Structure 1
């Protein structure tokens, strides 16, 4: 197989959650530029910008709506989706974060983060993987975090959920690798998105973060597109259960 074909996604269909902005949008556009058609999942029907960017790549896209904070809605959603579409690539990107000291952290905040970042991801992966297992081919990419390895500050539910995403990635890979499905994860470093706005606006925290990143800058969502294309393509057929860190060198310090 040529290098060009090894990274090609022509003829494939990718489902990307949380595709409206930020990392999800950048990954969706990257997959589209590699040739994949896109199913863009969001919880609000305002995916016009992402749809336009995907269209400019010359592929098709469709928007579907699902509130991932309600994991019990995921199974019926998948049944309807899979009745109409073959999904070759699943990118579990959608996630939320709540900031509050652990001693005061509300159970509602705990539950909403765990439901969105972990429980919905698991149920979605289960159901999308079933036809993949029958075909003997599929790619699942979970978006982990540096807080899959570290504890962070005032984000206990987010750290717990992202540790679990890394562990679940390995668990699913162990079961599904022999059946032709590669399950891997990307752990973004400090990326300039809505989720990190509070950190970037805090002068002290922002300076401390930048001082540790060897590249000397916050990452941009586009910095993750290449990693996603690699893990979605035949180039990664022998990569299983891996958490690929894209962090400007943060973990090397």
Structure 2
């Protein structure tokens, strides 16, 4: 719900899951990548972290923090040959978003405001993650790549 109605416990749970989890994981793997002199990390942000939302506001704040973490880590670890980026998906047909894509009215609304006129499929995000993990993206770091079918450009 709205951030103004969020309890401390709910706030902490969302932040722990979406930000602290990534913080811990990267702290575990980045030193080994640095020893090898190369590596790539792809984090998951969200378009909810790019714009305000009265329904999933705290989730959006956590995803904005995730993108900021990726940028900061890219600056810190780039000199050691490690690239760190994040992906900001729009509505994707995942279990997490099932309540949205199972509702025909919501799907129609989402499709109507997206230039590609469809919601995303997990493979749309997987392909981008693969790209960001390979040498094909060797000169990309610290970026949040939006994959939302064009929703945020409208």
Compute the TM-score of the two structures, normalised by the length of structure 1: 0.57
Q: 2:51 aligns with which of 145, 150, 163?
A: 150
1:114 and 2:18 correspond:
no
Q: Which has the higher contact order (CA 8 A, sep 6+)?
A: 2
**Unaligned regions of 5+ residues in structure 2, if any?**
none
1:187 and 2:85 correspond:
no
The offset of 1:250, in angstroms, is 0.9
Q: 2:115 aligns with which of 214, 217, 238?
A: 214
Larger radius of gyration: 1
Q: What is the match of residue 38 of structure 1?
A: none
Change (3 A) 1:152 1:202: farther
For the 8 Å contact 2:2–2:58, the answer to whether it is kept is: no
The offset of 1:104, in angstroms, is 3.0
1:170 and 2:88 correspond:
no
The offset of 1:153, in angstroms, is 2.7
Match of 2:85, SS state, is strand
**Unaligned regions of 5+ residues in structure 1, if any?**
1-99
Q: What is the match of residue 223 of structure 1?
A: 124
Compute the TM-score of the two structures, normalised by the length of structure 2: 0.92
C-alpha root-mean-square deviation of aligned residues, in Å? Answer: 1.5
Match of 1:194, SS state, is coil
Q: What is the match of residue 141 of structure 1?
A: 42
Deviations 1:142-192 (A, max 9, x none): 011101201223222211110001111111111111210000111111101
State the aligned residue count: 154
